Structure 1
């Protein structure tokens, strides 16, 4: 089956998986497996879903098995971005039983968490159907796992916000306070920012939005913690002149009404900071 999404280079992902394997193997490796599994024992194992969801993390699972034993053969049945149901086989691994067992937990930890992110993202995206609004993630990610967690958001049909502080200028409320207000902070952007850099500014009141429109210098406005009627007024005020992103208190049961206001993006930190790991298992 052709993957729905092009994979990232293994070279980028290997350090993440290697660190997880180092943590799990400890100072002396898998002593249980070495003690009870005779050398040369071969098995075929399956990664199976115990609940429905959206696939993500198969590439990292494959790297985990390969780093433990390059001779293992892994066949992915459900590529990243594909839906699956309870009992479905996501991948098969064949080879030395000891190698499969030693890589099992790290492979499932990555796949379960990333499937959880993709699945939750897909649920949020479903609430925007019939609108132009896109669901995007935030930088509220697990330290060290931002790249793969944001990739899982893509697998669920969402979009990515900044990967790092160096990707774009995002002026938050504390920046505004420290700089002395909206006018001076936007003046500083106009004077110092590269013409290649996108600029987003956060506002939480319509009076601030009016000042941003008057000052100029921003490409995107983040509408923070506004209720739905206020978001609707903000969309009318901007009238397509700037990209609008709604943020703050974006629960799943609220997404449809927020999308209906006409905002371009809804950013949801919960996609990565409050996700539930999906229940996957490895069966011999």
Structure 2
């Protein structure tokens, strides 16, 4: 599935910081030393493994920030499958510029394609159910927006982007606020009509208390075993959106989806994805 690109303006500051980190205080001294001025080349960004493509927009922007005259063509857009030896992008123009942008472009594209690929593997395990796979806030600091975009490219969905997106009451909130009823009453009193409320429970008796009190739109079923998740879905009976979280590893996804939960959230999508092997070839 293909998704609309983010505005380049949102990504520019992130990419400028990465390029400045890589170019250092004096630029690409190797390229300046060995590549004569005016040399041009055609380069190809190739896949060396099977997966789902992500990061092409970012790679393209990285090359253009180094040199706006480079001609960059994306052949395999974000969200598309790739196989070994597939050419994902071509870059034509100054050899020095291509070499100076290469590492930043590959770092982003490999990392994000790895996230998209792992997400697609999770999504595949939900086939035949209505369960959706979603990410968490367990992202690389500073890279959340692009890592969450990669989850979309893999067929997943996004959880909240920041603490300001929604009210998510976790176990520590419940403990500090004085219990389930107290925390739900406080949330209802402060939430606007546009703000959704989610509450985390790890026991069925807590879930019963939430259902009795009301006031939540979503319930996060944390670290429950599969029979407990199945019972929780029956108890909720469609009155709230259900989200299973905690120990949601790939081998377990199919059996959890079969319980009927609406969402499965996994931090592994972003914190444990293996970088997809990509290379730039002249």
Q: Scaled by the length of structure 2, what TM-score is found?
A: 0.99
Q: Over residues 57-96 of structure 1, what are the superposed CA-to-partner deviations in whole Å (9 max), with x where a residue is unaligned?
A: 0011011100110000001110000000011000000000
Q: Are 2:262 and 1:264 equivalent residues in the alignment? A: yes
Shift of 1:189: 1.1
Shift of 1:6: 1.2
Aligned mates of 1:205, 1:251 — CA distance in 2: 20
Aligned mates of 1:232, 1:10 — CA distance in 2: 43
**Number of the residue aligned with 2:17:** 19
Moved over 2 A (4+): none
Q: Which runs of 5+ in 2 are unaligned?
A: none
Q: Over residues 227-267 of structure 1, what are the superposed CA-to-partner deviations in whole Å (9 max), with x where a residue is unaligned?
A: 00000000010111110000000010000000000000000
Choose the corresponding residue for 1:116, options 111, 114, 117. Answer: 114
Aligned mates of 2:185, 2:167 — CA distance in 1: 13
Tell me the number of residue pairs that the alignment of Structure 1 and Structure 2 aligns. Answer: 282
Aligned mates of 1:245, 1:6 — CA distance in 2: 26
**Number of the residue aligned with 1:208:** 206
Q: Are 2:101 and 1:107 equivalent residues in the alignment? A: no
Aligned mates of 2:201, 2:3 — CA distance in 1: 35
**Number of the residue aligned with 1:48:** 46
Aligned mates of 1:191, 1:68 — CA distance in 2: 51
Aligned mates of 2:233, 2:191 — CA distance in 1: 26
Q: Over residues 121-143 of structure 1, what are the superposed CA-to-partner deviations in whole Å (9 max), with x where a residue is unaligned?
A: 00000000000000000000000
Q: Scaled by the length of structure 1, what TM-score is found?
A: 0.99
Choose the corresponding residue for 1:28, options 26, 29, 42. Answer: 26
Aligned mates of 2:12, 2:116 — CA distance in 1: 21
Question: 2:239 aligns to what SS in structure 1?
Answer: coil
Aligned mates of 2:190, 2:16 — CA distance in 1: 41
- The 5 Å alignment of 1:1-284 reads 4-284=2-282
Aligned mates of 1:192, 1:125 — CA distance in 2: 35
Q: Over residues 160-198 of structure 1, what are the superposed CA-to-partner deviations in whole Å (9 max), with x where a residue is unaligned?
A: 000000000000000000001001001101212112100
Aligned mates of 1:44, 1:102 — CA distance in 2: 14
Q: Which runs of 5+ in 1 are unaligned?
A: none
Coordinate RMSD, CA, aligned: 0.7
Aligned mates of 1:31, 1:278 — CA distance in 2: 28
Aligned mates of 1:161, 1:4 — CA distance in 2: 19
